[in-house]
Structure 1
């Protein structure tokens, strides 16, 4: 339900001046702009104000107030913090120009305030000589039409703005439409306002770019050249986009160098790029910024341009123990089946030898047949290990059992050998997937020495990142050691192993591709410490140039320029090409020692058994001798 709010404010005695107010034009303007909160500024007497107000109440869903120009409280009357508002001004009134000049102190010519000024002629330029209009202003001037061809046309409507009042801009005016009694307010905006106003020739801006490290040559040459793309890539990338906008909009810019993106200081101020925008020493940033609460208070953010991605780089440790090389190729169920098969084979072998022994007794043969369990076990394992069978039964059933044992041993041996080779050639599974895994495996850690990484660590709320920062601080307290270093230094430590280094991907990838071998690249693992962070264009707080520059950046994005620049500045990830040179098929002692351990254990066990046998043999012989040497009394 809509309510009609009628506000009539009368300021002291009225001064009778020559002016006019066409309420039909005002209402048509409000409707055309879809404005619900509106103000009409006039110099009419009380009677005239009441008449204007009466005519404006025809619209039922608008909040309209009529105010006197003289001694107008601008802040309380036409300053709207959030809502879109319309202002209709009788520009023929005495004091209209003074009102516009006094409005310079307030943001009443921004994108949310729509002005319509009624003037008696097209000679209205003097009204705006000292008014701080900018490229984002939305001001229309209506004056009586002189076009006799269109009988219904009452007013010609011009669009007026200044490129940048305080930046040596020029005042611009252009016919935008008309008002007639049949169609009303007719201003057709076929193109984006900022596309029409894109020519900023003569405007001089100031900007700042973050360059934390020393450079050779001039700043302009540094931002233009394409050398060492991995160094300060995000700032040079954004500066390149702003150069494209400079060429597109045709303004000039003076760029200053700063060493920080801007962080909150103990005294409550903000330094770096954010500080330059806060102090109005720069109109926009040539470097992107993270969204932070303390920055949002002093500057305005624009379009996203850069995605900051960082990760811990480390060489993936071996995911399998040495004994797994000999055990893991076969699953537990397969080993159980092999064990059960070997037991059946031993049993069948012994039955065959026992059958031979019984047959020898029946035919009174004196052949020595070994039918012990140990002999059958040795024969079975000899078959499984492809060493053959020492002896086999003479019976047909025993030989069939031996044949099946040999065949089973051949199949198991071939399958095990193939599985073992395949297991060695397979890519080791990943052991670590989170930053907590890095900490738990006692890796030494380091981080790229840049301010935003330190800020992320300091402001972290999760326990894992806090632990990372604590360890880095502990490292800095040691003798001549620091956890913060350049990507080149940190990745060199990664090559040595057991070290994890956090760096931006755009900094780490080129170094890895140049200095790491193919096998090392295949061993590398990336573990992100933080999610992808978005960096945005940035401007002065309430900057009138924010929208036109954002429209330029959006145009670059829609035309594929930003995607092309991202492809150019963002290096490709080094690929793991698993060729013959990267596959290590040489098995060292670290992998082979379990087999040697089995041999040693077997030798020690056999020596112990031999020693026990010798002792047992000696003890039994000695006992037999003692029995033989016993002298029995009264015996011959």
Structure 2
């Protein structure tokens, strides 16, 4: 039984039988994409700022170089600009820089020696950045998040929460007074909905298959985990306390004449190793990770969510710009007709 304020007046607590009999939230470390945008993590903020400054400086140099080549061609009738020459305007320069960033190349180019040197530096720099960024993304897709370490982190995470259906869990979750614990309790048992209290086996199967945090007795829970989990699934298991003073004790009635007899007998059982032997037969400890990274995991839709969201916004923006261009074209056409009539 657990120590509570109401029981202190009527019970004497004798001994805590084992360290393995505790109640905690257990969850597998979720993928890094559950907590962060993977596509911003490869570089730190100062690196992103340096890249932005580098792009702006090179774009300005490209513009100056393209303007100089244009003026040079105008002064020399023999060197006329063709359609593949980079024009000194913002749209062409932007497309040229974006093509270098995405390693796609461009149909336009600078014809002069200085322009070719600038183009070579631009594409070479973004080749190294592209390679570093892609390698970091691949590594991050295989990484797990280590940001859930407290009850507050657990509350604000995207993990689904569940509780082993036992009397003490129902008592502690229904009487939680701390704001964070109370919010977790309301998340598990929202008003008007079925509370997420599960039997031990169903909760552990759910823990195995999805991002899920399950509050359970560790001794019996880990025994079932040993039975159902594959070796690589035992890696990354984390624990967070919910119940304060969550170690169960053996007790007897207050002022019982058998208190000392029971206490001495229980201590002797521990000294001779009989308690440890029985606990090892009945309960299990946290599984040891022996095969981290030994399995293949497919990329989830959540990993691609920021990219898909950016694609959606880009499509919406492109249709909006198309609509603006159509209106502008019709306006220009209308003005041209009015001038022709006059």
Contact 2:223 2:284 in 1 (8 A): yes
What runs of 5+ residues in structure 2 fail to find an aligned partner?
none
1:295 lines up with 2:7 in the alignment: no
Contact 1:494 1:501 in 2 (8 A): yes
Tell me the alpha carbon deviations over residues 11-67 of structure 1, each in whole angstroms, 9 at most, x when there is no partner.
xxxxxxxxxxxxxxxxxxxxxxxxxxxxxxxxxxxxxxxxxxxxxxxxxxxxxxxxx
1:378 lines up with 2:133 in the alignment: no
CA RMSD of aligned residues (A): 4.1
| Alignment partners' CA distance in 2, 1:262 and 1:432 | 24
Q: Which residue of 288, 303, 306 corresponds with 1:594?
A: 306
Q: Which residue of 257, 262, 272 corresponds with 1:542?
A: 257
User: How far off is 1:505 after superposition?
Assistant: 0.7
1:364 aligned residue: 77
Tell me the alpha carbon deviations over residues 86-136 of structure 1, each in whole angstroms, 9 at most, x when there is no partner.
xxxxxxxxxxxxxxxxxxxxxxxxxxxxxxxxxxxxxxxxxxxxxxxxxxx
| Alignment partners' CA distance in 2, 1:507 and 1:433 | 23
Q: Which residue of 525, 529, 533 corresponds with 2:247?
A: 533
Q: Which residue of 399, 404, 415 corresponds with 2:121?
A: 404
Shift of the 353–528 alpha-carbon distance from structure 1 to 2, 3 Å rule, reads same
| Alignment partners' CA distance in 1, 2:230 and 2:325 | 57
Tell me the alpha carbon deviations over residues 295-325 of structure 1, each in whole angstroms, 9 at most, x when there is no partner.
23xxxx6554334311123455556469812
Larger Rg over CA atoms: 1
User: How far off is 1:334 after superposition?
Assistant: 1.6
Tell me the alpha carbon deviations over residues 388-426 of structure 1, each in whole angstroms, 9 at most, x when there is no partner.
243332322222111111111111111111111121111
Contact 2:232 2:294 in 1 (8 A): no
Tell me the alpha carbon deviations over residues 195-235 of structure 1, each in whole angstroms, 9 at most, x when there is no partner.
xxxxxxxxxxxxxxxxxxxxxxxxxxxxxxxxxxxxxxxxx
* Aligned pairs, number: 332
| Alignment partners' CA distance in 1, 2:278 and 2:203 | 27
Contact 1:380 1:389 in 2 (8 A): no
What runs of 5+ residues in structure 1 fail to find an aligned partner?
1-260, 264-290, 631-636
Q: Describe how 1:546-557 pairs up with structure 2 within 5 A.
A: 546=260, 553-557=266-270
- Which fold has the larger relative contact order, with Cα–Cα distance below 8 Å and residues 6 or more apart in sequence? 2
- When the two structures are superposed, what TM-score results if normalisation uses the length of structure 1? 0.44
2:142 aligned residue: 425
Q: Describe how 1:28-107 pairs up with structure 2 within 5 A.
A: none
1:446 aligned residue: 163
- When the two structures are superposed, what TM-score results if normalisation uses the length of structure 2? 0.76
Indicate the structure with greater helix content.
Answer: 2
| Alignment partners' CA distance in 2, 1:612 and 1:435 | 47
Contact 2:220 2:283 in 1 (8 A): no
Contact 1:444 1:498 in 2 (8 A): no
